[in-house]
Amino acid sequence: MNTENFSGKAQAYAAARPGYPDEAIEYIRSLVRQDAVFADVGAGTGKFTELIARHGYEVFAVEPNDDMRKQLEITLKPYINVKIKIVDELKNITLRAKH
């Protein structure tokens, strides 16, 4: 996996890439319980992650590119329900099932 494709481009990407329509997020929300936990793998600058986080879901965001992850951290700073992980940390993460 090439983790350097977006190096030096994160700010431009964050500014130029369109977001997701509200209908898409509402549809996803209709499929899960309110206590669902999300994993956003390849979270980029956080366009999707932020929309999920706004609704109070716990989110694990993973972004291997350093520049994109720095922008991700800026975007998601207001959300205490989001944990940003780097790829090396995934070796020790466990996801719990909720029934």
The model's pLDDT over 35-92, given as tens digits with 9 standing for 90+, comes to: 999 999 989 999 999 999 999 999 999 998 889 999 999 999 999 999 998 766 556 6
Total of domains in the chain:
1
Within 8 A by CB and 6+ apart from 90, the residues are 62
Task: Assess if residue 78 is contained within a domain.
Answer: yes
For residue 27, give the CATH number of its domain: 3.40.50.150
Residue 65 Ramachandran class (φ > 0 left, ψ -120 to 50 alpha, else beta): beta
> What's the domain range around 55?
10-87
Is-above-0.85 flag for pTM?
no
Question: What element of type H or E holds 67?
Answer: helix 66-76
pLDDT at 58: 96
Contact of 94 with 29, CB cutoff 8 Å: no
